[in-house]
Structure 1
Amino acid sequence: MRTASDDLVAALDIGGTKIAGALVDGRGRLLVRARRPTPAREDGATVMGAVAAVLGELLRTAHWSRVRAVGIGSAGPVDASTGTVSPVNVPGWRDFPLVAEVAGLVGGRPVVLVGDGVAMTAAEHWQGAARGRANALCMVVSTGVGGGLVLGGRLHTGPTGNAGHIGHISVDFDGDACPCGARGCVERIASGPNIARRALDAGWRPGPDGDPSAAAVAAAAEAGDPVALASFARAAQALAAGIAATATLVEIEVAVVGGGVAGAGEVLFAPLRERLRDYATLSFASSVEVLPARLGSDAGLVGAAAAAAQQLGLWAVAVGR
């Protein structure tokens, strides 16, 4: 006899550099994986072709008959109400009907779309650092800065699937123009490329290997380079201001920070916690805790599956408990 624990969700994690897919079970295990580079500078049909190739690998496995739904976590903005995506870093997709395209490939199974930050949040609340917390902000700090919210013990996606997108809170009203059209966004200050850009502009230079990335800046900061430390301190200040604003607005208990930039460890987290004390000053916001994410690079896939499972009532284990 079939039980809910036999059901799988096909998950897609779509970003500017890679399109990943997996079949995920009710314990959050990834049974099958597939991956393609994102042809981000190509036209929309070519990008969709890469998505179809990833899905095709999953479809051809013996496990596919157990798949009950598809969950998609995509770089944004997304619009879950229309099933469309317009990722800033994939210019060929503007109001692209991703849900309809995927639904046409998966035999009528329901398809659930959320932003990639919301997917990461679903994963961390289900099995990671925010597990058991009723109110949380989870953030991805990487090439961009995304996020999502858990409120009242449940994933809060908002009508379009973008709720909690902390990367585009403005924390510097007269700051640099952001690709989103605003100025001084958290992402424009705290993302990996902007940490590296700021360090280079201030005189930091890569080592003998020529690596100009944020990871290299982090290594220099850990070694005591003052310019590298200053660039991370500025990123931490922007993140702290965004977290404090969120805590003040919706009374979160914890902010979970993941993504490649979070790999810098205490180079980021120490000044972040310090500056958070400067911004989260009201009694109900001052106790917010900052934790590193636990699920790493699989969070997008696990979370896309978790978001679909919660919305569709799959699996006996409720997401976040």
Structure 2
Amino acid sequence: MHTDLVAALDIGGTKIAGALVDGHGRILLRAQRATPAQEDGDTVMGAVEDVIRELTVSPHWGRVRAVGIGSAGPVDAVTGSVSPVNIPGWREYPLVERVRAATGGLPVELIGDGVAITAAEHWQGAARGHDNALCMVVSTGVGGGLVLGGRLHPGPTGNAGHIGHISVDLDGDPCPCGSRGCVERIASGPNIARRALEGGWRPGPDGDTSAAAVAAAARLGDPVAVASFERAAQALAAGIAATATLVEIDIAVIGGGVGKAGDVLFTPLRKALAQYATLSFVQRLTVAPALMGTDAGLVGAAAAAITKKTNETAAGV
């Protein structure tokens, strides 16, 4: 597929991004729409179709041989459907079927958004050269994916490594997924901000109440902002240590908007991880910031489609 392209879609609760990507992970064309996350399912799909339409008018479209989708989850790669926690209008929504129709019948590969970011970081980013890794996106939600034995491990349905919905506080707050005390409920950007506001933190004159604003306050030493990030770091550390103990990863890569907080997050995270990852075979576990930035979801979705197409070609499918 060295002269061919794949179309990549990165679907989250905030934005729907699309791109045409070559076999080296280079993006030739981009398109993006805001996600109408609180609207009905077909309205959300309309935004996806708008992104696809913008890609199809490109003169490069004739070289596209497959489509890769990284979607907020849970996803079901077996049925081709998605039920993202943060897009309530999509419940068992037949996304693969609809995208296949919108792209003229191209083959479509569906994986969770965390798995997509993992594919990108393992291909070209911070997990490159690591045979066993957990890669996470900590943003509006918390997702993740695994590399085991040098290969991406999406699992049977495409959700393996979905660390955001590991419970780390058995008596914690209810999570929209139906469980309690999930990593996402504690460590996602909106929950970092919510906890800071509940603790008495107040935004500056601009009224910004985002996690980025809380991070800025924490850098200036605001004790409530610092405490909210420390709590998020503790939840992430507990989830990472549990994953490492289970499958022996040697690196955890963290991206997403919250990951951009830098030392405000990573310093307490490394401290907490040392307290949770105590067994001999996980004590060398390292944590690193992601390198792929906002393109990770698109590049990873493309990587999944390229791998699938390559494997089918090798098998004579």
Q: Same fold (TM over 0.5)?
A: yes
Superposition pairs for residues 29-178 of structure 1, below 5 Å? 29-178=26-175
- Asked whether the equivalents of residues 86 and 96 of structure 1 are also in contact (C-alpha less than 8 Å), the reply is yes
Q: Secondary structure at the match of 2:18?
A: strand
Deviation of 1:248 after TM superposition, in Å, equals 0.2
- Show CA shifts across 1:224-279 (max 9, x none): 11111111000000000000000000000100000000111000000000110000
Structure 2: runs of 5+ lacking an equivalent: none
Q: Tell me which stretches of 4 or more aligned residues in structure 1 moved more than 4 Å.
A: none
* Distance (Å, rounded) in 1 between the aligned partners of 2:283 and 2:309: 36
AA of the residue aligned to 1:150? V
Residue of structure 1 in register with 2:189 after alignment: 192
* Distance (Å, rounded) in 1 between the aligned partners of 2:238 and 2:121: 22
* Distance (Å, rounded) in 2 between the aligned partners of 1:12 and 1:129: 22
- Asked whether the equivalents of residues 7 and 315 of structure 1 are also in contact (C-alpha less than 8 Å), the reply is no
Q: Which residue among 233, 237, 260 is the counterpart of 1:236?
A: 233
Residue of structure 2 in register with 1:294 after alignment: 291
Q: Secondary structure at the match of 2:282?
A: coil
CA RMSD between the two structures: 1.2
* Distance (Å, rounded) in 2 between the aligned partners of 1:37 and 1:248: 38
Q: Which residue among 258, 262, 266 is the counterpart of 1:261?
A: 258
The question of 1:306 aligning with 2:303 is answered yes
Superposition pairs for residues 177-216 of structure 1, below 5 Å? 177-216=174-213
AA of the residue aligned to 2:66? A
Q: Which residue among 267, 272, 279 is the counterpart of 2:269?
A: 272
- Asked whether the equivalents of residues 257 and 291 of structure 1 are also in contact (C-alpha less than 8 Å), the reply is yes
AA of the residue aligned to 2:218? A
* Distance (Å, rounded) in 2 between the aligned partners of 1:200 and 1:88: 23
The question of 1:17 aligning with 2:14 is answered yes
TM-score normalised by L of structure 1 = 0.96
TM-score normalised by L of structure 2 = 0.97
* Distance (Å, rounded) in 2 between the aligned partners of 1:303 and 1:285: 27
